Amino acid sequence: MIRVQHIRVIEDHAGNPVVLLSDPETGMELPIWIGEVEAFAIQRELEGVQLPRPMTHDLMRNILVELGVELVRVEINELHDNTYYATLVLRWNGRTFFIDARPSDSIALAVRMNAPVYVAEEVAKAAGYFPQPSRKEIERFMRLIKDVELPEM
């Protein structure tokens, strides 16, 4: 699993909302097209905007917190027919629960509860892209060229 370090909401060329999950360590960027309501919910939380009344994802967080349920992590773990699948990993009363959920709802909840988001490597390889070399690749390259001696000109 690849741990997501950055979550952003952007628009594609047609104006459709996309949540972009990225990890500088591996260089992975995974775009997931989502609905406008979910995009608003994620972006609002990322920007720290508070509404006077709780919206759906706020309600979900409030219920979990009040009941003492911990959101351990979110896993974006499958991709079938261009549809992503996610799992909420919850802990309550010493037990762990795995709940099937949409990635957009899962991410909206994760940003509210400061829970980590992970992407399965198979999903990242199938649908993500790696536009820049990862930190590991850069470090490996730097070690390689460190010992190279150039002839004097």
pLDDT (tens digit, 9 = 90+) per residue, 100-121?
Answer: 999 999 999 999 999 999 999 9
Distance between CA atoms of residues 78 and 83, nearest Å: 8
Chain centroid to CA 23: how far?
Answer: 9
pTM of this structure: 0.82
Domains and CATH numbers, the chain: 2-146 (3.10.690.10)
> How crowded is residue 76: how many other Cβ atoms within 10 Å of its Cβ?
26
Contact 28, 127 (CB under 8 A): no
What is the distance between the alpha carbons of residues 81 and 76, in angstroms, rounded to a whole number? 15
Residue closest to 125 by CA, chosen among 9, 20, 26: 26
Which region among 48-52, 87-91, 93-97, 116-120 has the lowest average model confidence (pLDDT)?
48-52
What are the tens digits of pLDDT across the range 125-143? 888 776 666 667 777 777 7
